[in-house]
Structure 1
Amino acid sequence: MSLSKKLSLVLAGLSIVPFIAVAQMSSGIEDNSLADLEARLSDERTLFNVTVDEAPDDDLLELGRLVAMGGAENGGSGMACITCHGAAGAGEGSGAFPRLTGLPGWYSYKQLNDYASGARPNEIMSGVAQRLTDREREAVSAYYAAMRAPHIPSIGEVDQALLQWGGQLAAVGSAERGIPACVNCHGAQGTGNPPSVPYLAGQYADYMVYQLELWKDGVRDNDAMNVMSAIAEKMSSEDMRAVSEYYARVANPLTEPE
């Protein structure tokens, strides 16, 4: 069955999705054609490296787009990623729905596996991930890795001193507090380090603060060698807010539309 026919069937079953989600979905599809996605298959962000035997191809992208729209084998409209994260993976700034566009494919795939196993507990995502097949997790991860969406700058007034402190933590950390610089792992511009390290630049501040709190509290504990947990334990609430607000205002050139 062609991609267009598959999409038509899925769209027909999405009548209960709110209008705004459908609008986001349409916009994302138009801005990221299948040809655009296929051209990014060799990008290091879409590759899974040694974790998955076969390199992503256009069939995987088609399946990923289908899954994102609620067409998973055990899915339905309630499993549509676009409802919360948008067609292009832009998410929204409440703190609950992060930006997925351009995240390394392996990183997103690992998070889905961790949601499914309970290693990363989440009331909504655990149920979704458990119903996806392994191939579907690979597919939707590769699909969003290949997507591009405009950076949405954070809105609202933030104290400049707080932003400066956030920038300092990002660039050099705090030797006195034992907090390493974020750039050590997440890259000089906060654009991430595929396949395992996500970007921070352009991610929503409230989401990043929430994740740091989960690591500090021991609720989230699925990072390699407990690096993030150890870092978050040394951070104050002000530190978390500062570095998150800073990175939320940094445009990510690797996820911007071409």
Structure 2
Amino acid sequence: MLNRQGWLCLAGLVLLVSPASLLAQRSLADDALPTFTTIDSIEARVQGCVTCHGQRGQGTNNGYYPRIAGKPAGYLYNQLLAFKNGTRKYPPMNYLVAYLPEPYLREIAEHFAKQHPPFAIRDITPAEPAVLTRGRALVLHGDADKGIPACVDCHGERLTGMEPGIPGLAGLRPAYIVAQLTRWQVGDRHAIEPDCMKRIAIRLSDEDVSAVAAWLSRQPAPKNLAPESSNLIRMPFACGSQRT
């Protein structure tokens, strides 16, 4: 249950967002998705989240607000904790979760992990064939000469993530992918040590980052949206995110 501090936190976030920006961020799919029917429900209590991420976490028209639906609960919980303690910085998120208790953050994570709404319309940016070829190679095969493993080695063959703590890449907008990889490169984003994403991101050139984002943005939604089991896959690096 959300306590008084939690409701005040949500109310404050709503006051920070103008009606015009809400309309701009709103997902095209929200009209077809159910909202909540009672105030005493998790659907009602996550309305502060759906403003940016869509009613069921499917993402919005703004490329910087990612799809969170169907991602492993462990990953979502880790991110909420990171926003709460300030190790991941984005002021609206830091403010939203600052006073929420950890059990409630886990409830939010588990709620969105169970959602499997349709994917938002793909945001395809222009790219040269050579760029897409490089992006495909990095995602599916990596680059042994640079010590870069394939994205699918950690994020799963369907790019839907890996239990318990690695997110899916399917359905993410290119702007968001570029922004997050860049933040890892410059040390603005961190994961639980050993930080395997930091180890990989610093080996990517700016061209590599753009290529990966461009190729991923062109991939259709996978038929099976479930994250893969970590018990079935040996990862190329030790990853602290899997210690949830």
Structure 1 residue 230: Cα displacement: 1.1
Q: 1:201 to 1:243 in 2, by over 3 A?
A: same
1:64 and 2:42 aligned: yes
Which among 172, 181, 185 is matched to residue 216 of structure 1?
185
The aligned counterpart of 2:144 is 175
The aligned counterpart of 1:200 is 169
> CA–CA distance in 1 between the matches of 2:222 and 2:144?
27
Which among 91, 95, 101 is matched to residue 69 of structure 2?
101
1:28 and 2:33 aligned: yes
The aligned counterpart of 1:252 is 222
> CA–CA distance in 1 between the matches of 2:153 and 2:192?
16
TM-score by length of 2: 0.75
Q: Deviations over 1:191-215 (max 9, x none)?
A: 1101111011221111111110000
> CA–CA distance in 1 between the matches of 2:216 and 2:197?
16
Which among 166, 186, 211 is matched to residue 242 of structure 1?
211
TM-score by length of 1: 0.71
Q: 1:131 to 1:95 in 2, by over 3 A?
A: farther
* Percent of aligned positions that are identical: 31
Q: Which moved more, 1:156-165 or 1:183-192?
A: 156-165
The aligned counterpart of 1:122 is 90
| Residue correspondences, number | 206
> CA–CA distance in 2 between the matches of 1:23 and 1:168?
32
Residue aligned with 1:100, SS: coil
Q: Deviations over 1:14-68 (max 9, x none)?
A: 89756744986553217xx99xxxxxxxxxxxxxxxxxxxxxxxxxxx7431222
Amino acid at match of 1:159: E
C-alpha RMSD over aligned residues: 2.8
Contact 1:28–1:86 at 8 Å: present in 2 too? no
Unaligned residue ranges in structure 1 (runs of 5+): 1-9, 35-61, 70-79
> CA–CA distance in 2 between the matches of 1:63 and 1:112?
20
Amino acid at match of 1:247: L
Q: Deviations over 1:172-203 (max 9, x none)?
A: 11111111111111111211101111011221
Contact 1:63–1:139 at 8 Å: present in 2 too? no
1:111 and 2:79 aligned: yes
Q: 1:140 to 1:119 in 2, by over 3 A?
A: same
Q: 1:164 to 1:92 in 2, by over 3 A?
A: farther
Residue aligned with 1:207, SS: helix
Contact 2:146–2:203 at 8 Å: present in 1 too? yes
